[in-house]
Chains A and B, each alone.
Chain A
């Protein structure tokens, strides 16, 4: 499994090798398939005047490809030295958006009820995407040589490290993105070698606390017409817990409830349930072979159809075969990533690879479960497919890193790390 770098005299060969095109074509094919399907679907999701975000997405894809090439050009260990710097930068940028909630700062504006974006003129940046990547790098860097996370208390620093970005992102508020951090953290800890029972205990603790989080607080909105406070009947109002702040907001509860409602006709469902319901109808009406590329009569009406719900559009255009292809492409990506992690002995590299896979996987599965009404709406995009410059860029950079790890496998003569038993 140790790669021998064949330094060829022909610079052409070196470039080819650097691009890793020969060695990891499954990843490249998967990424190409996903990006293509994404562009097609976004192009199909036309507005009333016939325009779409398709051209923009195509440009982002090219920029992303360039970023991917850039991130695999330099040895990942060199990039790894800047992990903390990247992480701190991302924290600062996220903090900037939070500042924009309190006072009015240039570039930060509310969009869809959250402060996710920093606008530089025509271009917008989502610091949360950067933060995800930075977190993976930083955590991988932290975990690569330590051994004290074999104890329960030793797990505290990684959790603390996770807490900061999660809390900030929750404040934006962006529950979906915050949710991704948890599985990524657990995956990294698990792979790095933390004891299973410790992790299980933490998970158990979390599950035990969850009901308190769900049932705490009470909702007393002000009635628009009478101007008085009324008690919302769908939100809990339990004697002791009602005095805590409400952790799960009213609209989030509505999303949970609507998920348990029947798949009734798209004509009747309105409001919260409509998005998921229409997405299902779009998916389902695609049938086995879909309606053909560019044909999304239902998907066009799904809110965020080019974004969070793009899977519905793919399903509508290409049917079951198309959705299966998407799923297979992601699975190929994940397996190739795991293969890369297994193929290298370098601890940082392994952790980075696993972190990236975990990040992709949790986001992908979260999005796909929302799109198929297996989970309440959370608002995460489908990596490599959904519209969005920041998301696409961060995803391509992550893929580039992954390829980087797969391509630069240093020869290690010492003991295999991570072997404790």
Chain B
């Protein structure tokens, strides 16, 4: 029996061995190619090679934005993170401490016994932690920023790494779930053994491994100056985890110019990542630390500017030749803006000549004013200049961002040319008139009497007077104003009404068109809707959208561009451009050959225009157009016109002045405690200037009348090449007086740069 039992035991052992042998055959013989492949995958290290973002050029090929090589200060994540209880962080600090002790070679340490060495190590770990704290101050100094900003950067890095970790954990977990879902369910006994719980994987399993970003360096200060590089590089051992890495940063050679239009880069946000069409493309997909265009052309042309990364893979431990795919740089994007022209125009806003009667008749003072100017090339619809002042320097944008954002008084980040909605005022009158003529509710010869008071359908209204009444203290009419060229009869036709900017005429036109008709026509000229230029813009407002209390009065005032109508400087410029082109509306463009640009990653608030076509012929009444052109020329050239200030331009120009009512300026300021309080500054008057807000001026001495000054037009008058619009906020004077000189200089600049032939 004993022998039998021995034999049984032997058989049991034999059976076990055969099972094992079978398993070995299965794994090592039958499935060996499968495992070899897995082994290859496990051993291959992939590294991506960064690429260069495409440059942004202006219309003449000058570089507006490009990547430049620089040295960044990067710090290992284990020093950046504030969660020092993590095992990985502690292990890293301990390792550093030991390294430092060893390199120092202190004989006391080297000869100490185990507990003694432990004491040394503990003390050194404390020193390392202290050095890390000191490093932040050193980095702040090197980068020319405050320590708080460094701490903010740390927080951002931690947040991004956590996001990436979650993303990786999620995707691995999801991959494992998919795998589990697509597998056949295991046999009933396997399920029973596993406790009846689904054998699906759980997230915890994937959370324990450190991802690459948790063990690598992250940029804390970009683009160190050479002095800072030297300073940090000399004392590298004092800064645990600090690495000076070569890298690229985006340089904007023109600094402030066209800042709003060019846009800037920020770390890519979650929403664009979610809708990225390249999400499955390893070389183009966004990584959480990548920079992407956030505004302006950088965002509009993001897909074109963004290059493809290269990839390098090598078999670790084998050092086989690395397979390499070269990175391909981003494509350059050419804008329609002429940056030199833009710079000149922008500079004009820093020294606007404001009439100052207090200093004497015909005297003016020079002051920086807020405002905007747009220049459109008529033949192509390209925007040659789009100035919004005040602006900011793109090179220091990220460092100064919080300051810029909190500057609620000046709002430098606000793109006034596209986002600021003003009453267009009298600049809209040619549009109203042309609409009325083409709609057939009036003819060019219809005469309307204006004696200053609004008379509509033979009823005298108590509001809506012509501006003639507001000169001096007794009523005037067109029959005696201006004194050098009064109107013979006071019955004005279309030409006269434009020349003299008569309110009553156009209020009547508005009445004849009606709210709906007027709104429809204004919309055709580009008001009340986004132009589709590609950047974030506001649509303005049409009379039919007005919800105020004024009723039919709102329609009349819409005829003179007030109360119920709002427009941005771009819309006014484009409407004038439509008039200049004799009724062809064209979508304004900022990018040359931009037809295949699709803003998939929308810059803030970008919504495409409702108009489908890029070019629309409004089929305006040709005779009316002639009259309108003549009228606008006479605004400048005739004695009765309101735009004399444009006479000194080196080119003949047809223009329309405008004076829009402005609301009182108020804003919320944040004080040192972080609390907000409302600030209502006093507008400067002729007798009481406000040096704190030199750009905020009242048009009267009491400080109650506030106006924005418009000047829009096209040049040369007989064969127009460009259209323009200038807006000066809170000018303290009328359109002709305040915006006119700026427009004149603007035209001279256009001549200088060759966009308008010189005539005088």
Contact = CB atoms under 8 A, between A and B. Distances in A.
Interface of A: 187, 190-191, 193, 214-215, 233-234, 236, 253-254, 256-258, 260-262, 264-268, 270-273, 278, 280-288, 297-298, 300-301, 315, 319-320, 323-324, 327, 330-331, 334-335, 338, 341-342, 350, 354, 357-358, 361, 365, 368-369, 372, 374, 416, 418-421
Closest 3 CB pairs of A and B: A284-B35, A285-B39, A271-B205
B214 to A, nearest CB: 14
Interface in B11-43: 13-14, 16-17, 19-21, 23-25, 27-29, 31-32, 34-36, 38-39, 41-43
Contacts of A350: 2
Contacts of A270: 172, 205-206, 208-209
B20 A284 contact: no
Given A191-B2, A284-B28, A331 B317 contact: no
Nearest to A330: B17
B24 A271 contact: no
Contacts of A419: 1-2
Given A214-B195, A271-B208, A297-B317, A264 B176 contact: yes
Interface string B729-751: 00000000000000000000000
Contacts of B318: 297
A273 B179 CA distance: 15
Contact of B6 (A191, A361, A372, A421): A191
B193 to A, nearest CB: 7
Most buried by A among B9, B19, B25, B36: B9
Nearest to A298: B39
A324 B201 CA distance: 33
Given A256-B194, A284-B36, A338-B9, A323 B1 contact: no
A272 B14 CA distance: 31
A298 B43 contact: yes
B5 A190 contact: yes
B199 interface: yes
B445 interface: no
A334 B16 CA distance: 12
Interface in B510-553: none
Contact of A261 (B28, B199, B209): B199
Contacts of B23: 372, 374
B175 interface: yes
Contacts of B10: 334-335, 338
A323 B26 CA distance: 12
A283 B35 contact: yes
B32 A285 contact: yes
B42 A324 contact: no
A266 B172 contact: no
Interface string B297-337: 00000000000000000001110000000000000000000
Given A273-B205, A297-B43, A331-B13, A268 B35 contact: no
B671 interface: no
15 contacts: A187-B9, A191-B5, A193-B1, A236-B196, A262-B183, A265-B41, A270-B206, A284-B34, A284-B36, A288-B32, A319-B28, A324-B21, A330-B17, A335-B13, A372-B23
Contacts of B193: 256
B265 interface: no
A320 B39 contact: no
A67 B24 CA distance: 33
A283 B39 contact: no
Given A187-B9, A270-B205, A287-B36, 7 more contacts: A283-B24, A286-B32, A288-B29, A300-B317, A327-B20, A342-B2, A374-B23
A106 to B, nearest CB: 12
Nearest to A287: B32
Contacts of B206: 270-271
A177 to B, nearest CB: 19
Interface string B182-226: 010010001001111101011011111100000000000000000
Contacts of B38: 265-266, 281, 284-285
B343 interface: no
Contacts of A273: 205
A253 B195 CA distance: 9
A313 B104 CA distance: 38
B24 A320 contact: yes
B28 A257 contact: no
A177 B190 CA distance: 24
B620 interface: no
A215 B195 contact: yes
B662 interface: no
A266 B41 contact: yes
A220 to B, nearest CB: 15
Contacts of A266: 38-39, 41-42
A271 B23 CA distance: 24
Contact of B24 (A262, A278, A323): A323
Most buried by B among A258, A268, A361: A268
Contacts of A288: 28-29, 32
Contacts of A265: 38, 41-42
B98 interface: no
B3 interface: yes
A266 B39 CA distance: 8
A21 B23 CA distance: 34
Contacts of A262: 179-180, 183
Contacts of B13: 331, 334-335, 338, 361
B196 to A, nearest CB: 8
B32 A261 contact: no
B99 to A, nearest CB: 13
Nearest to B3: A342
Nearest to A250: B204
B1 A271 contact: no
Interface string B645-673: 00000000000000000000000000000
B757 to A, nearest CB: 67
A315 B1 contact: no
Given A253-B195, A298-B39, A323-B24, A268 B176 contact: yes
A271 B179 CA distance: 17
A417 B193 CA distance: 42
Contacts of B35: 280-281, 283-285
B186 A260 contact: yes
Given A253-B195, A268-B175, A271-B205, A320 B20 contact: no
A187 B316 CA distance: 47
A420 B24 contact: no
Given A236-B195, A421-B1, A297 B41 contact: no
Contacts of B43: 297-298
A215 B6 CA distance: 37
A186 B25 CA distance: 30
A254 B194 CA distance: 9
Contact of B20 (A190, A365, A416): A365
A301 B38 CA distance: 14
A27 B9 CA distance: 19
A418 B208 CA distance: 55
Contacts of B9: 187, 190-191, 338, 354, 357-358
B239 to A, nearest CB: 24
B172 A338 contact: no
Nearest to B196: A236
A315 B34 CA distance: 15
B39 A271 contact: no
A191 B4 CA distance: 9
Contacts of B16: 361, 365
Contact of A323 (B28, B41, B201): B28
B200 to A, nearest CB: 9
A261 B27 contact: no
A258 B194 CA distance: 10
A262 B180 CA distance: 8
Most buried by A among B34, B36, B183, B190: B36
A301 B42 contact: yes
Nearest to A270: B209
B24 A372 contact: yes
